[in-house]
Chain A
């Protein structure tokens, strides 16, 4: 981070992403770009100010997408089954998971994704320790969190610090 050489490609990626979003919203009307181009430029400036450009590994993001779809479908089915079941089989617990990801975007991404995985909900993040509410304490949640953490680390091109 803060490296001038690596920040320009990621700014270009953001600009093209916002351009794509505008073209979707505008539905291809040429006149809409009179508003669209300033809006895209403003969005790039605001996004760079709020989140410093970080290198992303796109091949890893492509690998994350099917993982995320499969896990969130499983998570939805799991909780739906528990909600419909007459005896409502839940055994909640709160576990502490020390994050090895660096603070900032990688941690924020991890925290938000955990809530959509089967049976886990991000409760509190304090001093790099994530408290996770689990719906069924019988399940091996830690292995799942470890697998996710490794994928996130590869996406953001960082290493997990072994403490």
Chain B
């Protein structure tokens, strides 16, 4: 089963594939943590903590895992660009939601 000529090297698993898989799985764990936090945490503010921070690291690890497999530098550049855009979008949207919630008088959960 050849998908393209000259791609036989891809049929063997090299060390970089293991690194890539480890990074992708670690990234998935952080995404799971972010979702778990979204479901378990008691109010909008604490949920924003889980979403911004855990997903930022999760996506960073995913991007790193995919960059290891990338065939060219421009693909690595695209992946980094995606990460950076999600990063600034996530941080500013989290700030806007938190500030909107406070101004509407949504009280924060206290133990």
Q: Which of B56, B78, B102 makes the CB contact (< 8 A) with A76?
A: B56
B103 within 8 A of A: yes
Task: For A135, list chain B residues within 8 Å (CB).
Answer: 46, 49
A160 adjacent to chain B (CB < 8 Å): no
- Tell me the complex Cα distance, A116–B92, Å: 10
Minimum CB–CB distance for B110 against chain A, Å: 7
* Contact between A92 and B33, CB atoms less than 8 A apart: no
Considering only residues 61-102 of chain A, those with a C-beta below 8 Å from chain B are: 72-73, 75-80, 82-84, 88, 90-94
Q: Is the interface of B mostly helix, strand, loop or mixed?
A: helix
A115 on interface, CB distance cutoff 8 Å: yes
B residues in contact with A124, CB < 8 Å: 98-99, 102-103
Interface residues on B, range: 35 or more
A contacts with B, residue count (CB < 8 A) = 39
Shortest distance between the CB of A50 and any CB in chain B (Å): 14
Contact of B49 among A23, A72, A79, A93 (CB under 8 A): A79
Question: B25-51, CB under 8 A of A: which get 1 and which 0?
Answer: 000011001101100110101101110
| A116: contacting residue among B29, B87, B109, CB under 8 A | B87
Instruction: Kindly state the separation between the CA atoms of A92 and B43 in the bound complex, as whole angstroms.
Output: 10
B46 touches A76 (CB 8 A): no
Q: Quick one: given A122-B95, A122-B98, are A79 and B37 in contact (CB under 8 Å)?
A: yes
Interface residues of A in 115-154 (CB under 8 A from B): 115-116, 118-119, 121-125, 131, 133, 135
Extra A-B contacts (17), CB below 8 Å, given A24-B78, A112-B92, A115-B53: A72-B53, A73-B60, A75-B56, A76-B33, A76-B57, A79-B49, A80-B37, A83-B33, A84-B36, A90-B41, A92-B46, A112-B91, A113-B91, A121-B94, A123-B45, A133-B46, A133-B98
Taking Cβ atoms with an 8 Å cutoff, the residues of B that contact A are: 29-30, 33-34, 36-37, 40-41, 43, 45-46, 48-50, 52-54, 56-58, 60, 72, 74, 77-78, 81, 87-88, 90-92, 94-95, 98-99, 102-103, 108-111
